[in-house]
Chains A and B, each alone.
Chain A
Amino acid sequence: MREEDTTSRRQFLGLAGGAAMLGAVPVVTLRPAEATPAMLATAIRNVVGAAVVRTGRVKLDVPPLVENGNTVPMTVSVSSPMTSDDYVKSIHVFNEKNPQPNIGNFYLGHHAGRAQISTRIRLADSQKIVAIAHLSDGSFWSVSADVVVTLAACTDEVI
């Protein structure tokens, strides 16, 4: 008796799983195009070209856990002397899972004094954020941070 129960439960779960899979396919196709890690890589390539992106020197401050993805405070700072021959030209921020891989491009100069910018961003899902700094010597430096979002900035939201 007991054994029979287990079997039927297993069968039921198998069927339910299959149904969920079938159900998931149209849902995915209905959603707006979502940025994929490949799109993230392409967006980064568009900015850096063929240059090598090294890790370090950039600091990305975002809360590791956010309740509301509609407005997430973010600060990017780069360790640089910010002199006329060694400064940060630009800071580029990307995401992995919003509909678009770009978040913002920020262009500074040596007159900025401090290579640091802050803004508030939207996150459609828990994901990885990448910040890349372009230095005056042509080198690129990057850092990434993972953010868990409990209430996403809804792209599917009905208004």
Chain B
Amino acid sequence: MASALINVPKTAKRGEIIEIKTLMSHIMETGYRRTAEGEIVSRDIITSFTCRFNGAEIFRADLFPAIAANPFITFFTVAAESGKFEFEWIGDKGFAETASASISVE
């Protein structure tokens, strides 16, 4: 069962720059490793991460096998109004997970 960890401040002053930290548990199998029998272990990674605030995209990332297991991504945004952050991870083998966090802006 995949699980996400999100760190967003609960409150912020209007116009403040806030840091958002995200971590999704995922093996991020590169597709370059082999089993003892010499067969290649097929690739299984998260390929895309998106963050939306009140429906509008504010951050997006394309991930490659060179991203470490359990992708940890942090970025910044300006707290303009109260609302909801929605996070989405999409990957190989039908992987799709979402998470959300709310912020109140004074």
Interface residues of A (CB under 8 A from B): 32, 70-72, 95, 98-100, 102-109, 111-123, 154-159
Contacts and interface: CB of A to CB of B under 8 A. Distances in A.
A62 to B, nearest CB: 13
Interface in B40-82: 41, 58-69, 71-78, 80
A109 B58 contact: yes
B59 A100 contact: no
Given A113-B17, A156-B34, A159-B41, A99 B65 contact: yes
B66 A98 contact: yes
A100 B35 CA distance: 20
Interface of B: 17-18, 30, 32-36, 41, 58-69, 71-78, 80
A103 B64 CA distance: 5
Nearest to A115: B76
B66 A104 contact: yes
A105 B60 CA distance: 8
A114 B17 contact: yes
Contacts of A71: 68-69
Contacts of A158: 33-36
Contact of A105 (B30, B35, B61, B68): B61
A133 to B, nearest CB: 14
The 9 closest A-B pairs by CB, nearest first: A113-B17, A155-B32, A113-B78, A120-B68, A114-B76, A105-B62, A71-B68, A103-B66, A107-B60
A122 B61 contact: no
Nearest to A34: B32
Contacts of B36: 158-159
Contacts of A156: 33-34
Most buried by A among B32, B60, B61, B65: B32
B64 A118 contact: no
B78 A111 contact: yes
A32 B32 contact: yes
Given A159-B35, A159-B41, A121 B66 contact: yes
Nearest to A105: B62
